[in-house]
Amino acid sequence: MTDAAIDGLDVIDGLELLICGLDSHGTIHVFNRPCERLTGISRSDAAGRSWLDLFAPGERGDHVVAMWHQARPDAPTGPYEALCTNSRSIRWHFCRWDRGRIPGVVLWAVGIDLTRDREALVRVREVERVVALGNLVSGLTHELRNPLNGALLQLALAERSLARSRDEAVAPAAAAIEHASVEIRRISTLLDDFLVVVRPQPIRLERCDVRALAERALDRGQPKATAAGVSIALEPSSEAIAAVDGSRIETAVFQLLANAIDAAAESADREVRVRVRALGNAVAIEVEDHGAGLPSDAPIFEPFYTTKQGGTGLGLAIVQRVADDHGGRIHHEQRPGATVFRLELPITGGVAS
């Protein structure tokens, strides 16, 4: 092999393209480094093997050979798309170049790994489907909320009318109206929570003191805690600054807090504690209660899974969505006598580690 040919092989080793040099029968004589990385086969093992066996399995060999015959130095043929043995998607073009610089090589197969592009396209289509679903749910929720509000108004008027009556015979009707009102409010809450889960929401990052966001969530949860006879407290700590969407983090902490209050209300230790601390390159928010806990194998972050009577099963799904959108994580841990949910958020960009 000439020095020029050796220099040429060094050049194709440095390219990101997949390049194979073939003889007239499709036997491999040149197999560059990207081909080695893609297939896991060394060039010494690939040499002498049929290109068709490696990259055109099945009954498509005749199609490839036909393209080889059509190839000219000034007119490459292709594309030929194939799924490699390791599930990589490759697009190949073929060019005839028989100047004799590399002994035996008369045909070049040049491939591009399209796997990442295809995966990106799948993700884009998935996002488009989610956006379409979110828009559908938004419209449906709007259409349902109006008649529900109208029904609540009519029930409230009927309840006032019955309250003015001194006839004990209307008591069952009043109880039925109250029950119906409670169920309609529950449906309205379910629609609102479901909308948060499925509707795409942009992340508006800004530098925030995550401890201050937790304090605001505790303020929102205080009326619920008081009604349940549960005490809630934020443990002392220094400020924890991170680039987050403040309103969505506050909502996530409130959801965790609401679940903890419900659990604590049924326990002997009716206390919920919240901690905010730095954890490596992340800020961790922990919500701890001393309730009965949850099954270790329960799909607690799946939408509509709930262990509470009348619960929507969407609170933890909302927290999971907020964590994912921030590149963070949500953990559930059972400790002796306690249940702890920990929301980890990257301080800035990337994924919490």
Q: Which residue has the higher pLDDT, 120 or 136?
A: 120
In this prediction, residues 232-246 reach a mean pLDDT of 90
Model confidence band, residue 250 (pLDDT cutoffs 50, 70, 90): very high
What whole-number distance in Å separates Cα of residue 312 and Cα of residue 105?
Answer: 68
Q: Which are the contacts of 181, defined by CB distance < 8 A and separation ≥ 6?
A: 152, 155, 156, 159
Residues across the chain: 353
Residue 266 has pLDDT above 80, yes or no: yes
Q: What is the pLDDT of residue 224?
A: 92
Model confidence band, residue 62 (pLDDT cutoffs 50, 70, 90): confident
User: In a 10 Å sphere around its CB, with 0-12 CB exposed, 13-18 middle and 19+ buried, how is residue 345 labelled?
Assistant: buried
Q: What is the pLDDT of residue 3?
A: 46
Model confidence band, residue 54 (pLDDT cutoffs 50, 70, 90): confident
Residue 237 has pLDDT above 90, yes or no: no
Q: What is the pLDDT of residue 193?
A: 66
How far does the chain reach from its first CA to its final CA, in angstroms? Answer: 51
Residue 2 has pLDDT above 50, yes or no: no
Mean pLDDT of the chain: 82
Q: What is the pLDDT of residue 164?
A: 77
Q: What is the pLDDT of residue 7?
A: 46
In this prediction, residues 303-325 reach a mean pLDDT of 74
- Using left for φ > 0, alpha for ψ between -120 and 50, and beta otherwise, residue 313 falls in left
What whole-number distance in Å separates Cα of residue 78 and Cα of residue 72?
Answer: 12
Look at residue 7 and give its three-state secondary structure.
Answer: helix
Per the confidence metrics, is the pTM higher than 0.85? no
pLDDT (tens digit, 9 = 90+) per residue, 192-229? 666 666 666 678 888 989 999 999 999 999 999 999 99
List, in sequence order, every residue forming a beta bridge with 343; answer none if it has no partner: 285, 330
Q: What is the pLDDT of residue 240?
A: 87
List, in sequence order, every residue forming a beta bridge with 330; answer none if it has no partner: 343
What whole-number distance in Å separates Cα of residue 259 and Cα of residue 257?
Answer: 5
Beta strands in 103-205 (DSSP E): 107-113
Residue 85 has pLDDT above 70, yes or no: no
Give which of 20, 24, 29, 71 is closest to 47, Cα–Cα.
29
In this prediction, residues 263-275 reach a mean pLDDT of 89
Q: Which are the contacts of 74, defined by CB distance < 8 A and separation ≥ 6?
A: none
